[in-house]
Amino acid sequence: MADPLTPEEMPSTDLITLTRHVLAEQFRLGSTATGDLTSLLIAIQVTSKFIANNVRKARLINLIGLAGETNVQGEEQKKLDVLSNDIMVNALRASGKTAVLVSEELDDPVIISDPRLKGRYCVVFDPLDGSSNIDAGVNIGTIFGIYKVRDGSTGTVEDVLRPGREMVAAGYTMYGSSANLVLSTGNGVNGYTLDNALGEFILTHPDIKIPPRGKIYSFNEGNSCFFHPPVINYLNSIKFPANNKPYSARYIGSMVADVHRTLLYGGIFGYPDDKKSKKGKLRLLYEAYPMAFLTEQAGGLATTGRMRVLDVEPTSIHDRSPIFLGSKEDVQDVMKFYEEYDKQQVNGKAA
């Protein structure tokens, strides 16, 4: 018979839920906190539960089919995409805390005009990132970022056409074998896992810190024939290094899943611009900004290759951007290859 566990070995019974955690953060801020952001984050938590449940059901009964439409990006929407978007828009509007909503699935922003429902925040989101992987059982997710309406504004599209550094919160929920919600309100990054029995997200990954250097790279090398020289040179440096310790390649094709692994294990995720996608493929407002915000809050870096992602100025709600994010030293290596390439180009023109 095994010896009984000592008090130190006993699992903790003090479960910290997401609701409890964000309320504690509000309490920490004291009189400066109005509770509006807390209420909004709780609304996002509720939408994540609904979407997680629908993803699970859809996979179980295999009833996912095309909705017969394409989104503004020209991509086929599936029924779950449409449902997830409706859940997000309706729940965020009903929270009474939002003024502007921007979704990947909608051509135009949703402006909340009803004064009874109008709030002080703007939410930009991709309701179901990686939806092409649904039938394969691959992890997919919801990505979101939150801005505060500018002083003096009544809530217009200009309130979201701002650099990512002005976001007040960002996060994602990943739907797979478990539902994981990763969130930052500008004071570090925390991860929560949905306990289906309790119906609550429980704090399971407190204060996530990305390692300063990793051993994994995550790029879609199927596009390598279109890559520009700095990217090709960087990839060669980690695949054929002088120390004979190459990086391992891990690419899922779902940004949420690839970034989640990068945050926990370190390394680098990259989706560069190339000869085919002149501005990159990922959307700035609701993909690049939130993930860059989380990465920096976890101690990493996020760059376009030439500048900080969070400093890029958006010109439209569906702008695209190249991005490299992950461990600080790995991202700095990419930036060095861009710097060297640009110097060579300048010297070549001067000659």
Please write the tens of the pLDDT for every residue from 302-316: 999 999 999 999 999
What was the pLDDT predicted at 333? 98
pLDDT of 297 strictly over 70: yes
Say how many C-beta atoms besides its own lie within 10 A of residue 113's C-beta: 10
Q: How confident is the model at residue 337 (pLDDT cuts 50, 70, 90)?
A: very high
315 residue type, one letter: T
Say if residues 246 and 238 touch (Cβ distance below 8 Å).
Answer: yes
Q: Please, which residues bridge with residue 326 across strands?
A: 268, 301
Q: How confident is the model at residue 56 (pLDDT cuts 50, 70, 90)?
A: confident
Say how many C-beta atoms besides its own lie within 10 A of residue 333's C-beta: 16
Listed range (52-61, 98-107, 232-241) with the worst mean pLDDT: 52-61
Say if residues 219 and 271 touch (Cβ distance below 8 Å).
Answer: yes
What was the pLDDT predicted at 332? 98
For residue 228, CA distances in Å to 222, 231, 275 come to 14, 6, 7
Q: What is the mean pLDDT of residues 28-55?
A: 82
* DSSP annotation string for 116-146: TTEEEEEEEEEEEETGGGGGGT--EEEEEEE
What was the pLDDT predicted at 3? 65
What mean pLDDT value characterizes the chain? 89
What was the pLDDT predicted at 77? 47
What was the pLDDT predicted at 127? 95
Name the percent of the chain lying above pLDDT 90. Answer: 73
What was the pLDDT predicted at 6? 65
The one-character DSSP state at 308 is B
14 residue type, one letter: D
Helices and strands (DSSP H and E) totals, the chain: 7, 15
100 residue type, one letter: V
Question: Where is pLDDT greater, at 293 or 135?
Answer: 293
Helices (H), the chain: 18-29, 36-61, 79-94, 229-239, 255-265, 289-297, 328-350
What was the pLDDT predicted at 132? 76
Highest averaged pLDDT of the listed ranges 27-41, 73-87, 173-187:
173-187
What was the pLDDT predicted at 70? 59
pTM: 0.90
Q: Please, which residues bridge with residue 327 across strands?
A: none
What was the pLDDT predicted at 5? 60
**CA dist., res. 261 & res. 302, Å (int):** 15
Q: How confident is the model at residue 81 (pLDDT cuts 50, 70, 90)?
A: confident
What was the pLDDT predicted at 2? 60
pLDDT tens digits, residue range 4-26?
Answer: 666 555 555 578 989 888 888 76
Question: Which domains occur in the chain, in start order?
Answer: 18-205 (3.30.540.10), 216-350 (3.40.190.80)
* DSSP annotation string for 19-77: HHHHHHHHHHHGGG--SHHHHHHHHHHHHHHHHHHHHHHHHHHT---EEEEE-TTSPEE
Secondary structure of 31-44 in HEC code, one letter for each residue: HHCCCHHHHHHHHH
What was the pLDDT predicted at 64? 46
Question: Where is pLDDT greater, at 89 or 72?
Answer: 89
Structure tokens at 222: 């199927």
Say how many C-beta atoms besides its own lie within 10 A of residue 158's C-beta: 12
What was the pLDDT predicted at 11? 53
Residue 94: HSE in the Cβ half-sphere, 13 Å Cα cutoff: 11
Total count of residues recorded for the chain: 351
pLDDT tens digits, residue range 252-279?
Answer: 999 999 999 999 999 999 999 999 999 9
**Pairing outcome for strands 200-205 and 190-195:** antiparallel
Q: What is the mean pLDDT of residues 117-129?
A: 95
Q: What is the mean pLDDT of residues 224-250?
A: 97
Highest averaged pLDDT of the listed ranges 24-33, 63-72, 181-190:
181-190
Say if residues 166 and 149 touch (Cβ distance below 8 Å).
Answer: no
What was the pLDDT predicted at 179? 94
What was the pLDDT predicted at 317? 97
**CA dist., res. 173 & res. 193, Å (int):** 9
Q: Please, which residues bridge with residue 146 across strands?
A: 123, 169
**CA dist., res. 40 & res. 201, Å (int):** 15
